[in-house]
Structure 1
């Protein structure tokens, strides 16, 4: 064994230990150092696994492909490439790689499970395509509240539901007392009646549909508000939160730590409130209740996980089915289509889930012009996709996405966009940050992530941004971090189609 090989194996072993302990960045560093010494299929394949755990699926595919080039017989590389391909919804490519493994290892349990999951999701997609109905058909419009009954034995809060015969608009007597009792019911492992859940989604959807694709809000200050901006009279704080991913107990901790939403405290949740975590229904219903109670003080941007293809794999669709019904998921899906894509605060801070664009000619006004109700799901390319999917990079310019979807943009792209649109900064989410938040691109771009100890494994802090006005009438940003809180003994991904990730 050469000296290089011996050192590389030691680095690989260190990487394996870091991977086992969920320290994925450190694992990637050690594997990279090993690869610099020896071009080994094992090292590339192991780094692919670390990238999978970091959700860098594009990089994982590249590493697994390199491992296969070095050793076409190395089955782990095919499996890991299949896992990464399934994570970015490339199901047919994933299935092809799985079949290559099973041709030589027909009893491999991981591959058999992935094959089963892929076959199931492909059948589901084929079935949905076969029964695809007119774009104008609405699951929410088909709801018949008169025919719905409250489940036997239900002892939770009551909710009166009315439907206007002329307009078909739905209304309820939802109040804070109901929400408080609903939360306690959820904490005990209970559910509200399906009829209540349908009504909450329906009423929230009516409110979302009245909002613009770009919501424009601001705190009252000496400066004259721009046309189209809603100044929040009496509001002292706007709290911006990143991904929460079904971590219901951490969401409750956000409100208990930083204050309840209401006329003097506005919240903006910046997408990805469902999937992965095992209480996505509870988080979504709570957020929708707050939207109904405080439509001008509670806002939600769409994330890449508020989409059908992600929900089918990462848990929300199956969670809705398990806890309520598949039809409730269809109604949630319709309401996700009405969520705004971005929020502009005081004409100075643009908040979206993913990031900036592949075209320098895109302006804030182009977000205003998005007809989000035109499509049932976001297009696979263009401004809507990029608002949901793109990520920053430290290098100048643009490059292919480490995720395998969208692209990455550098500090020059951010600086130019902010200058052209007279913005102080971009605020986005979409990625774990170990400290809960990070100032990037010379302070022109801020990432905030609000799911602490993401998926019970990342050991990251959560964070929020409190935006207030100072004595000069300017906005100040105050970054607050928090740790995870205990939750019932149900792990993340309980409703996820495993797919190996």
Structure 2
């Protein structure tokens, strides 16, 4: 029998302490050190703990790799199947998740209530998926909602659009934000009007919008906001509301996780309708039906509105541009770069973006990939797309005549990170992500004519006592 290493045990316990503090990157570092010094079952436990920390960091691909490594040595290690099933479930891969949880269920002889509950959830999710396919109609997404059929109650005291969309002015947008701060909702009639109009605007844009920042104008780029409405309002408090003199680009992942995703989305859409040149939006991997079912947005929209409004949101999400280029120097995209060399901006303009996000190909890469410190291409830590090294970034930027890649998609402790010799920037604008990560938020200001990034950091602000994922189905609450 292999005896436990005291040093590995100490590192594992230190990792557990960091995990309890929600310092998951440090926990992963300590578990990794423990894995290197441990052997036998002790090593497998450390791998299992690291897999759990990877799940918390949304590194689902790495969690699956750790689980597979455990199962190579011990096919009866129940938690490995649980970790693997959890990772697949959080990727929306319900069939793969069911397979892993069924293996765990067999090993526990059907006596583990938590595993049974997960299997029940997965069964329901698969049923809903198949039912939706069976009733799907090709023209369903384009079927309009007749706003004349929507009655506005006499007691409604929020912003209105009584005649035409020109009523959506900067003052109207400010009134909307104040209405949301008072925890009131925009009436369904006006929400539908905004969604229909913003869909028209977005549909007319290129896949990669080519935008020239006027000389001396300050152009602000923000990263993920993830339903953190009160932190979004704080960005505008710090930096000013969107205006002709201060346009914004929000780089995807507006929704899910945070429980005010509707408010975030309607605020950004209102400013876009007010003046398309002062609010710019790109699609993130969470602007998708699959993610919205898992991480709260579907439940939130159906709670605050109804199924038809949710379908209208999905139609609009499919219209969002995939990226921007700023002054032919900076590319802004939610995820990152590509599984293959030789991709050009002109080729990206030919993609059909008016669809659900595919599992592979250039569109998936743009919304899912991540940078990595090592050169070359590597398997994705998320389980979708790839990780790309500095050499891949340099090659793509040079071939397309660009100097800088700005992307989001990853929480950073300081709100941003600069890598690849200063040519790749990650920007993340959801401070204290999910009310537990204790990270700062940040945004970038580019001054036209110079196009050098200036970083502004900020802390989370207080919000009403509604937890993250309040409208989700608890798929993400794994232990």
Q: TM-score when scaled to structure 2? A: 0.95
Deviation of 1:4 after TM superposition, in Å, equals: 5.8
Residues 42-53 of structure 1 aligned to structure 2 (within 5 Å):
42-53=45-56
Deviation of 1:63 after TM superposition, in Å, equals: 0.8
2:109 matches 1:133: no
Name the counterpart of 1:407: 386
String of CA shifts for 1:199-221, please: whole Å, max 9, x gaps: 11011111111111111112224
Contact 1:57 1:88 in 2 (8 A): yes
Name the counterpart of 1:88: 91
Name the counterpart of 1:110: 114
Name the counterpart of 1:166: none
- Distance in 1 of aligned mates of 2:183 and 2:334: 30
2:32 matches 1:56: no
2:449 matches 1:445: no
Give 1:497's match in structure 2, choosing from 460, 465, 473. Answer: 473
Contact 2:285 2:357 in 1 (8 A): no
* Count of aligned positions: 473
Residues 300-449 of structure 1 aligned to structure 2 (within 5 Å):
300-373=281-354, 376-449=355-428
- Distance in 2 of aligned mates of 1:175 and 1:119: 47
Contact 2:166 2:274 in 1 (8 A): no
2:453 matches 1:486: no
2:34 matches 1:34: yes
In structure 1, the gaps of 5 or more residues are: 163-170, 222-234
- Distance in 1 of aligned mates of 2:365 and 2:141: 26
Contact 1:160 1:172 in 2 (8 A): no
In structure 2, the gaps of 5 or more residues are: none
CA separation of 1:219 and 1:119: change in aligned 2, threshold 3 A:
same
String of CA shifts for 1:438-472, please: whole Å, max 9, x gaps: 11111111110000011111111101000003xxx
Q: SS of the counterpart of 1:306? A: coil
- Distance in 2 of aligned mates of 1:435 and 1:478: 14
- Distance in 1 of aligned mates of 2:115 and 2:466: 25
Tell which deviates more after alignment, 444-453 or 71-80.
Answer: 71-80
Name the counterpart of 1:230: none
Q: SS of the counterpart of 1:268? A: strand
Name the counterpart of 2:434: 455
Name the counterpart of 2:213: 219
2:183 matches 1:179: no
- Distance in 2 of aligned mates of 1:34 and 1:60: 16
2:22 matches 1:22: yes
Q: SS of the counterpart of 1:84? A: helix
Deviation of 1:102 after TM superposition, in Å, equals: 2.7
Deviation of 1:72 after TM superposition, in Å, equals: 2.4
String of CA shifts for 1:169-208, please: whole Å, max 9, x gaps: xx45222333223222222221121111111101111111
- Distance in 1 of aligned mates of 2:186 and 2:153: 9
Contact 1:271 1:302 in 2 (8 A): yes
Q: TM-score when scaled to structure 1? A: 0.91
Q: SS of the counterpart of 2:410? A: coil
Deviation of 1:2 after TM superposition, in Å, equals: 7.2
Name the counterpart of 1:149: 151
Tell which deviates more after alignment, 60-69 or 414-423.
Answer: 60-69
